A and B are shown apart, each in its own frame.
Chain A
């Protein structure tokens, strides 16, 4: 193999390197730390762009692969690669990290150095988890995500931050340790079957195992990912974590960390155990539907803006899961697209709430009203992002949600009908919240003196709004990258199910 530039490794470990340098910078000069981090995160985003532009759209296989031996006696390798799904999530991660650094500019004044170092460590872990194609490597990055996020919530979070941080850590840990055992069981099963002991995911995709065993292992993987997504009824950590986290923490939590759950289903749980996934599809779809509707109803009742958006994530991620488990092209592509959309628009909503909170130090809906009079520019951006979140045609949300609904209708009409009712509820809670906060008379004196958004904040929101419209109007640019992967994905699943169960059910018509 000729030496090629290890692009993925560079992208993954650059933030870690920057974090280590950051620790050496003088504590006295927070501006230097902020500027330094910002420059490097922008460079990091730039570095990840070639993934998009040099991506081969024709193939469903892994690209930009790197494959090194790590612990050959145990079959553990250092294997990286991206396909149409993970490539876009990598870009989302590097993009949102830049915004997170920008939005923390003035709000973080305590332990600035540690804050940005944690953030960069988190970025490394997330990117690593997205690119890893070896189960041990993946697991290491997967667990590594917990520590910086724990610190971000616990050190720089709100009043109940300690409770939220520990809850976040423990919930995720319970799921992931069981997944670890399932990984080992898979490893030994495959090794005994074929004589090749390996954690290489691409190799393990060929595994065939008795259906009963598949169920158990799928359950372990699915539990871990379902907690992360989070699917109803494992979602209770999310509102706490979101409410207590600092703004940037919420953005990255909603934007990327939750996607790790859905991504895990796509990358690991489903292709490794297709029959079990197929059998579990009704259960998961129903849980997703409960999540959609329950999340929406919870949103209507919230009095805290941030908590409302947190519950809306439960609802939105329900759509993603529903789309993925429809097991048809529309549902799958819609699910993948919705993962990106949710990162952009919910990330945007958290940013806006953060901006309001910085000025007013409250997030209670009842404390606001008529803000559009004092903050007209913010109102415009808030409106656009809100509309994107409720999937108005022309925005990115519409494309994803429409495809998901299409896929859901094709797999089961009643799922489609129920999911559509969730769309209506979504419009209800978002618009109602927007109306109560932004429109009407200014009811509170304190709100009269609020300043409109600054240039820095405008830049952040412009970036978000750009992607809302770009992904809404020219979605082809993205689907071109996803198409081959998604088609290949379903194809592989079909052959795998057919090869073991000739008379087995075929999930798509």
Chain B
């Protein structure tokens, strides 16, 4: 066995190193500095860290190399997701700058955990090795269990944290058990090796292997919030600090889909016919249940939670179809989804107060009269979520659905589009409150911070740009999924 000197590979994992160092530095800062100015310092450090990491990640584009004996892989697919989660961390950090002050959270640990979560996501998406994927997933999850409970003194937040932890532990166990079963039947932990082995001819498909596959679907289904493994989502999204909700709805989902995609499109791709049917059903359930339940929500955070479940369903359409080239549409969708969701959560944060979160839909009544620009921004995010052209949400749906049509999955596509009509109703309902109703009561003064404006501005720009000129983004996504060829 060749033992590679660890320092030789340092160049490839600079982004991970930068994020780790920034997180550790923030922890040290919070131990040694006065409490009052930590918020801004820690926020600044994590912005710089994530920015640097993003820069180095982009520099690595078009590399394809295995390091640490195949435990870690740097390829375009992983780099795409790394860049995506780093963008998410930048946006979420910007959102948090003021929010953390307002809600009087523990500042140092907040930013450190945020970065550790990102680190977990980055590890999770850049490995072809089950063990590394699992470690990444755990690093991410543990950080987020804590982050959910950081609204000290708020029972809903504590509930969210505990609930996520308990159910998450179960899901992780399922995932691990699935990995164990697959390892037990093949003796391999590297997903590419598994693919090679199962197609070589000496592999006999056993119930244990199939059970392993099913358990993997359960584990990933939990992290991507797919029905029927979604039970935790609404409560956790509602109870967690809103910035963390945005972080979970975008970052966790993106990373989980990244790992999910990598495992199923390499190791388990030979069994496409087996898992495709399962995912077909999960996709339909996820979309339908997410949308129909969202119809009945009167709390924006809860509505967005169910809507994020529904969006996982749309992504699963393309996933179930199993076209390797066109799986680029999944990546594109996740990219688009990130901006529209973070944008919407930014508006939710912007309208909230320490004492009154203002997440009830009636708080949005007459918003267009009071704050026309904020109402306009929220409308853009909601219309994009609803898939109205020319915003990027439409393009995302367009490519996902065209996958299904191309492969002849007509019913899946029809169920998908009818679902998107159902979804229009609850997104429009918020717009209706903002524009058609008169204000009820006072929501008090805005809590202005240029950081919010930056996040909202970037998101709007991204949605319009990717909606009208999706080409370059989709081509990047295509280059990323080349690893499956």
Query: Chain A interface (Cβ within 8 Å of chain B)?
Result: 70-71, 73-74, 111, 114, 136, 139-140, 143-144, 146-147, 150-151, 154-155, 161-162, 165-166, 169-170, 173-174, 177-178, 180-181, 184-185, 187-188
Contacts and interface: CB of A to CB of B under 8 A. Distances in A.
B161 interface: no
3 pairs of A and B residues whose beta carbons are closest in the complex: A177-B417, A140-B389, A184-B405
B383 interface: yes
Contacts of A74: 474
B265 interface: no
A169 B389 contact: no
Given A74-B474, A177-B417, 13 more contacts: A71-B470, A73-B474, A140-B389, A140-B390, A147-B388, A154-B435, A170-B421, A170-B424, A173-B424, A181-B410, A184-B413, A188-B402, A188-B406
A155 B474 CA distance: 37
A187 B406 CA distance: 9
B414 A178 contact: yes
Given A140-B389, A166-B432, A173-B424, A181 B471 contact: no
A13 to B, nearest CB: 12
Find the residue from B368, B389, B471 having the highest chain A CB count within 10 A: B389
B111 interface: no
Contact of A188 (B405, B432, B436): B405
Interface residues of B, number: 30
Contact of A143 (B388, B418, B425): B388
A146 B388 contact: yes
B436 A154 contact: yes
B389 A144 contact: yes
B383 A174 contact: no
B475 interface: yes
Nearest to A180: B417
Contacts of B368: 111, 114
A150 B427 CA distance: 13
Given A140-B389, A170-B424, A188-B405, A73 B475 contact: yes
A187 B470 CA distance: 19
Contacts of B406: 184, 188
Contact of B471 (A71, A136, A161, A184): A71
A71 B406 CA distance: 18
Contacts of A146: 388
A232 B28 CA distance: 72
Contacts of A162: 432, 436
A136 B467 CA distance: 12
Interface of B is mostly: helix
Interface in B394-443: 394, 398, 401-402, 405-406, 410, 413-414, 417-418, 420-421, 424-425, 428, 432, 435-436
Nearest to A143: B389
B425 A166 contact: yes
A178 B414 CA distance: 7
Listed residue (A140, A165, A166, A177) with the most chain B CB atoms within 10 angstroms of its CB: A177
Instruction: Give the secondary structure class of A's interface.
Output: helix
Given A71-B470, A146-B388, A185-B405, A169 B424 contact: yes
Nearest to B379: A147
Nearest to B423: A173
Given A73-B471, A180-B398, A161 B418 contact: no
Contact of A170 (B388, B413, B425, B470): B425
B380 to A, nearest CB: 10
Nearest to A151: B435
Contacts of B424: 169-170, 173
Contact of A181 (B405, B432, B435, B436): B405
A174 B432 contact: no
A78 B413 CA distance: 26
A144 B388 contact: yes
Contacts of A187: 402
A181 B413 contact: yes
Contacts of B475: 73
A111 to B, nearest CB: 8
B145 to A, nearest CB: 39
Nearest to A113: B372
A180 B401 CA distance: 9
Interface string B323-335: 0000000000000
A446 to B, nearest CB: 29
A161 B471 CA distance: 39
A178 B470 contact: no
B390 A144 contact: yes
A140 B388 CA distance: 8
Contact of A174 (B421, B428, B435, B471): B421
9 contacts: A71-B474, A143-B388, A177-B418, A178-B417, A181-B410, A181-B413, A181-B414, A184-B405, A188-B405
A169 B372 CA distance: 22
A140 B394 contact: yes
A227 to B, nearest CB: 12
Contacts of A114: 368, 372
A165 B436 contact: yes
A161 B417 contact: no
A144 B464 CA distance: 13
Contacts of B402: 184, 187-188
Contacts of A151: 435
B436 A161 contact: yes
Interface in B438-471: 470-471
A143 B383 CA distance: 11
A173 B422 CA distance: 10
A380 B395 CA distance: 51
Q: Please indicate which of the listed interface residues B401, B425, B432, B470 has the most CB atoms of chain A within 10 Å of its own CB.
A: B432
Given A147-B383, A181-B405, A185-B405, A139 B428 contact: no
A181 B401 CA distance: 8
